[in-house]
Amino acid sequence: MRRFLRQNSLGLVFGVLFLLALVGQAFAGHADYNDQLRSDGLAEVSLGRYLTSASFAVDVAENWQSEYLQFFLFVTLTVWLVQRGSPESKPLDAVGREPDADQHVGEHARADSPAWARARGWRLGVYSNSLGLVMGLIFLLSWLVQSVAGAAAYNEEQLRRLQDPVPWGAYLLEADFWNRTLQNWQSELLAVASMAILSIYLRQRGSPESKPVGSAHDTTGVEG
């Protein structure tokens, strides 16, 4: 058990931190939602009712979609884009999808390679892109949820202000939808750019996200 925890500590710790943050968001969001209801002269709602509200759903989904977009772009664009000196980049001469021999696929598969890496045709094609595909799919689903829940939350506010609700299609053109979307995208894109650039010059000893402390600034594609 202890061995299992140690060998999976990265995923487990982040999973627990995620749940703690989500619980914290639920309580803070509930208090904020009730503040708004009170100021509009309406009755407060229970935590359970808030957790099934569009307001909570859109606040969660708008952050999720941007995170998965970030990883989708990072995973796929780093196939072709490189950054000299960054451990987040592959070597400058390895741009592209790389030869089968380097990727251990098809006839170059090893004994312990996943079955679909040994396969040919669509299975190899899907598996070769599965990380990006799943990240992209979760991004699209999260963005869809954001749009649907966002329309409902927006319309609830519209009704509170004695204004007409708008259909989902019209909401996609509303400033509220794009403000929620772009404010998350900009922060994720800044974080990726910062990581790619700062890791050229700065080090974190022992971290695989950093180059070894003594590596030269122009050493590319080396992780510590």
Q: Which residues bind other proteins (CB under 8 A)?
A: 15, 18, 37, 40-43, 45, 51-55, 57-58, 60-61, 64, 138, 141-142, 144-146, 148-149, 151-153, 155-156, 158-165, 168
Residues 153, 58: Cα–Cα separation, whole Å: 8
Of 45 and 195, CB closest to other proteins: 45
Q: How far is the CB of 83 from other proteins (least distance, A)?
A: 28
Residues 126, 49: Cα–Cα separation, whole Å: 41
Residues 66, 70: Cα–Cα separation, whole Å: 6
Q: How far is the CB of 139 from other proteins (least distance, A)?
A: 10
Structural tokens at position 194: 């910062």
Residues 182, 185: Cα–Cα separation, whole Å: 5
Of 22 and 77, CB closest to other proteins: 22
Of 160 and 203, CB closest to other proteins: 160
Q: How far is the CB of 29 from other proteins (least distance, A)?
A: 13
Instruction: Tell me the CA distances in angstroms from 26 to 48, 51, 205, one per residue in order.
Output: 10, 7, 36
Q: How far is the CB of 88 from other proteins (least distance, A)?
A: 22
Angle (CA) 25-31-37 rounded to 5° is: 130
Of 124 and 151, CB closest to other proteins: 151
